[in-house]
Structure formats: C-alpha cells, structure tokens
Amino acid sequence: MTGLTAISGASGHIGGQVARMLSGTGLSTRLLSRDPDRIPPLPAAVPVRADFADPASVRAALTGVQTFLFVSATESADRAAQQIAVVETARRAGVERIVYLSFVGAAPECTFTFGRDHWHTEQAIRASGMDFTFLRDNQYQDLIPLLADENGVIRGPAADGAVAAVTRSDVAAAAAAVLTGYGHCTMTYDLTGPRAFTLTEAAEMMTAAHGRQYTYVRESISEAYASRSKYAAPQWELDGWVSSYTAIATGELETVTDSIEQITGHPATDFRDFLTEPPPHETRRHSAKVI
C-alpha cells in the first residue's frame, strides 16, 4: 500500500514490532505514542504524540494519514467510549482505512468483558464509512507464563476449557502484512495459534521448558474474585481478569484458524516452541490479556 501509515501504540509490544517490520519496506510511517520519546528511531518513521484521552493530539497525529493501524487502548472503565471517539477523530482527519486490532468473539455480551469494548469499536468503524480490516487476536501466549504466581501456580476459573493462544509476534507480522498487502479490505481475521490447549497442558509445557514446576489450580468464580481482592482493583478490572478465564471455560477461545499462515505465509507459533525462547521480562500484578 502507498500513502502515509500511522501506527498507534508504537512504543508498545505489537505497535513497536509492526513499526520495526515496516522500517525496511520504504513505507512512510507516523508512530503514535503518549510518550514519543520512548520510540526508537527508525528509517522513514516520525514519532508523534497521540493520547487517546486528548482528541486534539489524535486529530493532529492523524491528519494526512491514509491508513491507521489502531492498536487498542489500555483497558479502562471508559475504553469503548474513548476508542469510539478515536474512530470519529480519524474519520474527521481524513483517514481512509483502519486496520483495527480486535479480539476473537467480540460481541456485545461476550464472556470476556474487555472483548465487549472491541465490538463497540468495530461497530463504530463499520459505521464510519472508512475501509477497514479487523484482526481479532486470541489470548496472547506471551502472557500465559505471567499468570503463574511466585510458586508456579496458575489459579483461575477456566475449568477444562482450551485456548488457541497466539504470540504477539505473529499478530504483529499479520498486521504488517495487511498494512503492506492487498485484498484485505472489509475482512475480519481471527488470529490464533496452531492448536488449542488447556491451562493444565500449559503448565505441563512450562514445566518441561523452564525446568521448574508449574501447576494449574481450578477456581470457582467466587474463589477467583476472592483470591484477587487483595489487589484492591476496581470492579471493571476484576471482571476483566476473571472473565479472561471464564471465556476459556465456555469454549469461546478454543477455535483454531489458519489466518496467521494465510496472511503471513508462515505457520503460527506453537506454545511449546514459544517457550523455548527467553521468558518474557515484564511484571504485572495479574495478567488477563493486554488489548
């Protein structure tokens, strides 16, 4: 594709990877972040401040942009409203096409409460008249090891459900391919790993890969809320954490697709293979999925 491309979340995991992948393509990019000083310099890329809570900064950042990779905002109580405002700002700024990073099964009443924000955002994009592509990613493999506590125990109400988790690198590769390719307008892709696995199986694979014992302990929903009450988090955040597990239990995250291979030309990374890479170096008080 030609024309100026903007990437939000360019100082983050997926936005940053996409920016690096595009840096050698000759595509002109504008890299958006609340703190552009955190963005490493890249060829043909201009860091720009854009804070989704500041519509004027978003309007300025998107003016002159043809294609906008919209990496969803950090979870918040008003994320849906904030993202809908970003869509309207993009339309008014003259953006022609949005590639939106969404979530599998996005629906107004999907089990994963944060997934509902994505449905509302998708509807706003559809209504805007702009061209669009929705990349609906599953839970991230990268975050599964971070679900374990200091004793290697993953606790949650996922029952015996399975999750077709995907790596953030595969999602970034798919986004880069969509941004530089053709034939993706009005398409919705569910991005998953090559197989679904239970959290018990995840713990077994982590044990084998990391040389320490991991286990999965099933919780009831009430037990899950109780065990997370020590974080003193707001209700919307607790609901998101707990429903990241209950969405697995209901089977909403178990469907496997070949979209990664279809878009990028290479198969999606298996969780067992992902674990042979260095473990993620990030700290969260509890991990749901960062979307």
Interacting residues of 150 by C-beta distance below 8 A, sequence separation 6+: none
User: Chain-centre distance of CA 47, in angstroms?
Assistant: 21
Q: Are 156 and 245 in contact (CB under 8 A)?
A: yes
- How large a percentage of the chain has pLDDT more than 90? 90
Rounded mean pLDDT of the chain?
A: 93
| Overall pTM surpassing 0.85 (yes/no) | yes
Q: Per the structure block, which two tokens stand in for 291? A: 């979307």
Report which secondary-structure segment, H or E, holds 70. Answer: strand 67-71
Domain range list for the chain = 5-136+168-191+256-267
Residue 1 has pLDDT above 60, yes or no: no
Q: Does residue 273 sit in helix, strand or coil?
A: helix
pLDDT for the residue 283: 35
**From CA 118, how far away is CA 229, in angstroms rounded?**
26
pLDDT for the residue 138: 98
pLDDT for the residue 279: 46
Residue 284 has pLDDT above 60, yes or no: no
Map tokens 């209901």 to a residue. 250
Report which secondary-structure segment, H or E, holds 6. Answer: strand 5-7
* Region for 116 from its dihedrals, namely left if φ exceeds 0, alpha if ψ lies in -120 to 50, beta otherwise: alpha
pLDDT for the residue 44: 87
**From CA 192, how far away is CA 145, in angstroms rounded?**
17
For the domain spanning 5-136+168-191+256-267, the CATH number is 3.40.50.720
Other CB atoms within a 10 A radius of the CB of residue 255 amount to: 14
Residue 280 has pLDDT above 50, yes or no: no
- Taking the alpha carbons at both ends of the chain, their separation in whole angstroms is 26
Q: What integer is the mean pLDDT of 221-226? A: 98
pLDDT for the residue 143: 96
CA dihedral angle for residue 205, residue 104, residue 188, residue 193, rounded to 10 degrees = 0
pLDDT for the residue 278: 60
pLDDT for the residue 281: 41
**From CA 261, how far away is CA 109, in angstroms rounded?**
30
Residue 290 has pLDDT above 90, yes or no: no
Q: What integer is the mean pLDDT of 111-137? A: 98
**From CA 65, how far away is CA 49, in angstroms rounded?**
14
**From CA 138, how far away is CA 165, in angstroms rounded?**
5
- How large a percentage of the chain has pLDDT more than 70? 95
User: Chain-centre distance of CA 90, in angstroms?
Assistant: 20
Q: Are 136 and 103 in contact (CB under 8 A)?
A: yes
pLDDT for the residue 145: 97
Burial (CB count within 10 angstroms: exposed 0-12, middle 13-18, buried 19+), residue 108: exposed
Residue 169 has pLDDT above 70, yes or no: yes
pLDDT for the residue 175: 98
The closest of 175, 173, 99, 178 to 134, measured between CA atoms, is 99
Strands 45-49 and 67-71: unpaired
**From CA 284, how far away is CA 227, in angstroms rounded?**
16
Residue 268 has pLDDT above 50, yes or no: yes
Higher pLDDT pick, 31 / 3: 31
